[in-house]
């Protein structure tokens, strides 16, 4: 299977870190996001990767090259102007139209979810989305029926709400739903949902973090250190 990493964004909310380097090269515990993603793909048996790049693309190419030193095969699709996630993915059509299915990953996501789960039983659906529980940005206070505080929970997951994890399993029919300069999340996916052509796969026990702002870097570093220490 091939994977596509959507890595062409400007990373505005991470400035000034992204003034001189693209978001995929932002380091988490000393390792660039893109390197963490490639390790995750390899661990799950995916060794062919297409990168959709734009902003500061030369730095990504200089870092990854053909992917050989990372143990994968890397190809590039370049957008000369921002196209959004839909337009960027549409640029890969000539490389993926003959694939049975392929994995798509946002370039700012770090996770250990098992992608083989999302690819099971796609049936007639055009694609499947990985979903993770929404994590509260604040601590939660539980109150009993008598108005007494029973406990405090620090930023717990809210299992009744699910968010798009930025990991998709798609087949080439997706290209019929894509447009130039569009975001797949606000155009293609809502249409597929209306048609009943989009499947949800829930992951309630996995690590997942989207690196959007500086605070996310700090939280990801802390969480990954804790996971690493717990394995020792």
How many C-beta atoms surround the C-beta of residue 35 within 10 A?
17
At residue 125, φ and ψ (nearest 5 deg) are: -70, 150
Residue 223 CB burial class (10 angstroms; 0-12, 13-18, ≥19): middle
Residues 6+ apart with CB under 8 A from 132: 113, 162, 163, 165, 202, 203, 204, 206, 208
Q: Which residues are catalytic?
A: 155
CATH 3.40.50.720 fits 2-132+162-231, yes or no: no
The answer to whether residue 232 scores a pLDDT higher than 70 is no
What's the whole-model pTM score? Answer: 0.88
Mean pLDDT of the chain: 90
Gap between the Cα atoms of 145 and 126, Å rounded: 46
Condensed to tens digits (0 to 9), the pLDDT of residues 83-133 reads: 899 999 999 999 999 999 999 999 999 999 999 888 887 888 999 999 999
pLDDT band for position 19 (50/70/90)?
confident
pLDDT, tens digit (0-9, with 9 covering 90-100), for 187-212: 999 999 999 999 999 998 899 999 98
């Amino acid at each position: 299977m091939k994977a596509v990493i959507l890595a062409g964004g400007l990373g505005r909310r991470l400035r000034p870190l992204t003034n001189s380097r693209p978001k995929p090269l932002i380091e988490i515990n000393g390792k660039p996001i893109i390197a963490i993603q490639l390790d995750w793909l390899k661990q799950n048996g995916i060794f062919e990767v297409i990168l959709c790049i734009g902003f500061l693309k030369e730095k990504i190419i200089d870092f990854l090259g053909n992917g050989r030193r990372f143990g994968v095969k890397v190809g590039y699709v370049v957008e000369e102007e921002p196209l959004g996630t839909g337009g960027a993915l549409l640029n890969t059509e000539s490389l993926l139209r003959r694939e049975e299915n392929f994995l798509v990953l946002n370039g700012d996501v770090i996770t250990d979810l098992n992608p083989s789960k999302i690819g099971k039983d796609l049936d007639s659906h055009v694609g499947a989305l990985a979903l993770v529980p929404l994590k509260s940005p604040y601590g939660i206070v539980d109150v009993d029926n008598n108005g007494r505080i029973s406990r405090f929970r620090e930023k717990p997951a809210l299992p009744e709400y699910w968010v798009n994890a930025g990991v998709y399993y798609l087949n080439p029919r997706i290209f019929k739903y894509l447009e130039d300069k569009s975001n797949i999340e606000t155009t293609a996916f809502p249409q597929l949902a209306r048609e009943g052509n989009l499947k949800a796969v829930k992951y309630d026990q996995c690590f997942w973090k989207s690196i959007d702002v500086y605070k996310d870097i700090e939280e990801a570093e802390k969480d990954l250190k804790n996971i690493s220490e717990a394995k020792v």
